Structure 1
Amino acid sequence: MTLDEEIAEGLAVPTDGWDFSWFAGRATEERPGWGYVRLCGERLGQVDSVLDVDTGGGEVFAEALGLAGRVPGTVRATEGWAPNHALASAALEPFGGVVTLVEGSATALPFDDSTFGLVTGRHPVSFPYAEAARVLAPGGTVLVQEVGAGSNRALYEFLMGPQENRDAEYLDDVRAQVGAVGFDVVRLQDALTRVEFFDLAAVVHFLRKVLWTVPDFTVEKYRDRLGALREHIAEHGSFVCHSRRTLVEARKP
């Protein structure tokens, strides 16, 4: 395939939801050892009410609910993108879930104080810890898997050039942010996981789907660097980088 054909293939794939099955055979990503979905399922079985923030297409939250054994009586989620809202509503309907469409990445949560026993989030745009503390009942828990600082740095610096690097301070920053809103940190864990791309179409689709990797990404702006990346894959067989995942579990006193 030519450069233009590979780019066109990556542009043609819909980006709705968080279903990554299209990448099979084109890219791989390791998962952190703690198993977020399993942990979430365990916590869900212990509460009567839950809120999932930035639920995407609801696929991951629905999987965790399916593992819970006992589904909470109140299941709520937020999502900021209308196509994902429709997908999430369908995915969570079997669990009695209601998805609220919020504006963009708004940090205000449209729920009353002390409403939920558990607030979750997997790869939120920016998890609203202060708002989570407000809507959690006393003794409630937050369980969040963040996209950590410097995630896929090798990829975005290949395209954008050197960027600010605060990777070493990141965990301390998270701990301080969580503590500042009154949470007691139960677990704070970090992992680097190998990501490997086997063709350029997969990179193009990934950059469109995971928007924060290269926030100003367009094919036109990065065409020359995409060409260089394609040559790198042809020479080395793949392009390797590492995602960073951070697990945050904290409790409201």
Structure 2
Amino acid sequence: MTFDEEIAEGLAVPTDGWDFSWFAGRATEERPGWGYVQLCGERLGQVDSVLDVDTGGGEVLAEALGLAERVPGTVRATESWAPNYELASAALAPFGGVVSLVDGPTAPLPFDDGSFGLVASRHPVSFPYAEAARVLAPGGTLLVQEVGAGSNRALYEFLMGPQVNHDAEYLDDVRAQVADVGLDLVRLQDALTRVEFFDLAAVVHFLRKVLWTVPDFSVEQYGDRLRALREHIAEHGSFVCHSRRTLVEARRA
């Protein structure tokens, strides 16, 4: 395929939801060893109510609910992007789930204080720790898998050039956020996982789907660097970078 054909293919793929099946054969990403979905499923079986923040298309929560020994009586989720809201509503309906469309990832959570035994989120844009602590019931659990600082740094610096690096302070910042909202930290675990792109279309689709990687991404702005990246893949067989994933588990006293 030509450069223009690969670009066109990457631009044509819908970005709704968090289904990454399109990348099969085009890109791979290792998963952290702790297994977020399994952990979430275990926690779900122990509570009567759950809130999933930034649920995307609801796929992750739905999978975890399918693994739970029992489904909580109250299943709620928030999402800020309308196309994902429709997907999530459909995915969670079989579990009695109700999705709230919010104004943005940092908008106040539209729930009463102490409403949920579990507040969960996988890969939130910006997790609202204070709001999550507010809606947690006494004894409730917070379970979040964050996209850690510097995730896929090799990719975004290939395109954007060197960026400010606060990676070393990141875990201390997470600890401080949890403590500042009055939660007790139970588990904080960090992992770097290998990501490999085998063609340019996969990179373009990824950057459109995971917007925070290169926030101002467009083919027009980064055309020269995309050509260089395509040459790198042709020479080396792939482009390798590393995602950073951080598991945060905390509890309200």
TM-score (normalised: structure 1): 0.99
Match of 2:29 in 1: 29
CA offsets 1:47-85 (integer angstroms, 9 cap, x no match): 000000000000011000000020000000000000000
Please tell me whether residue 107 in structure 1 is matched to residue 107 in structure 2: yes
Match of 1:135 in 2: 135
CA offsets 1:11-53 (integer angstroms, 9 cap, x no match): 0000000000000000000000000000000000000000000
Match of 1:38 in 2: 38
AA aligned to 1:117 is G
**Greater mean deviation of Cα atoms: 10-19 or 104-113:** 104-113
Match of 1:181 in 2: 181
Verify the 8 A CA contact 2:105 2:127 in the aligned structure 1: no
For residues 1-253 of structure 1, the aligned pairs below 5 Å read: 1-253=1-253
* Count of aligned positions: 253
- Secondary structure of 1:140's counterpart equals strand
Verify the 8 A CA contact 1:78 1:100 in the aligned structure 2: yes
AA aligned to 1:237 is G
Verify the 8 A CA contact 2:150 2:167 in the aligned structure 1: yes
Q: How far apart are 1:104 and its partner, in Å?
A: 2.2
CA offsets 1:171-223 (integer angstroms, 9 cap, x no match): 01100111110000000000000000000000000000000000000000000
Q: How far apart are 1:105 and its partner, in Å?
A: 1.8
AA aligned to 1:9 is E
Q: Distance in 2 between matches of 1:69 and 1:173?
A: 34
AA aligned to 1:103 is D
Q: Distance in 2 between matches of 1:81 and 1:107?
A: 12
- Secondary structure of 1:130's counterpart equals helix
Q: Which ranges of structure 1 fall in alignment gaps of 5 or more residues?
A: none
Q: Distance in 2 between matches of 1:51 and 1:78?
A: 8
Runs of 4+ in 1 over 2 A off after TM superposition: none
- Secondary structure of 2:220's counterpart equals helix
Verify the 8 A CA contact 2:50 2:116 in the aligned structure 1: yes
- Secondary structure of 1:189's counterpart equals strand
Q: Distance in 2 between matches of 1:234 and 1:137?
A: 53
**Greater mean deviation of Cα atoms: 236-245 or 102-111:** 102-111
**Percent of residue pairs identical:** 88
Q: Distance in 2 between matches of 1:67 and 1:221?
A: 44
TM-score (normalised: structure 2): 0.99
AA aligned to 2:88 is A
- Secondary structure of 1:219's counterpart equals coil
Verify the 8 A CA contact 1:107 1:131 in the aligned structure 2: no
AA aligned to 1:82 is A
Q: How far apart are 1:107 and its partner, in Å?
A: 3.2
- Secondary structure of 1:100's counterpart equals strand
Q: Distance in 1 between matches of 2:148 and 2:106?
A: 20
